[in-house]
Amino acid sequence: MPPQQVEVTEHRVLEARCACGKVHRSDFPEGVTATTQYGPRVQATVVYLTQHHMLPILRTTRILRDTCGVTLSPGTVVRMIHTAAGNLAPTVARIADAVREAHVAHFDETGMRVAGKLHWLHTAATPNMAWVGMHTRRGQEALDAFGKPYSVWQIVPNGRGHRELFEMAEGHRTVPSVDSIEHTNHSIIEYHE
Residue 154 has pLDDT above 90, yes or no: no
**Looking at residues 40-60, what average pLDDT do you find?**
94
Which pLDDT does position 160 carry in this prediction? Answer: 43
Q: What is the rounded average pLDDT of the residues 79-107?
A: 89
Q: What is the pLDDT of residue 182?
A: 41
pLDDT, mean of residues 158-169: 43
Domain boundaries, the chain: 15-89, 102-192
Residue count of the chain, please give it. Answer: 193
Averaged pLDDT, 187-191: 45
Residues 6+ apart with CB under 8 A from 155: 104, 105, 106, 107, 178, 180, 186, 187, 188, 189
Characterise 149 by phi-psi region: left (phi > 0), alpha (psi -120 to 50), beta (else): beta
Confidence band, pLDDT 50/70/90 cuts, at residue 148:
low
Please state, in angstroms and rounded to a whole number, the distance separating the CA atoms of residues 120 and 112: 6
Please say whether the dihedral angle defined by the alpha carbons of residues 35, 36, 38 and 39, taken in this order, is positive or negative. Answer: positive
Name the residue with higher pLDDT: 169 or 83. 83
Residue 34 pLDDT greater than 60, yes or no:
yes
pTM for the complete prediction? 0.63
Specify the DSSP element, H or E, that contains 83.
helix 74-101
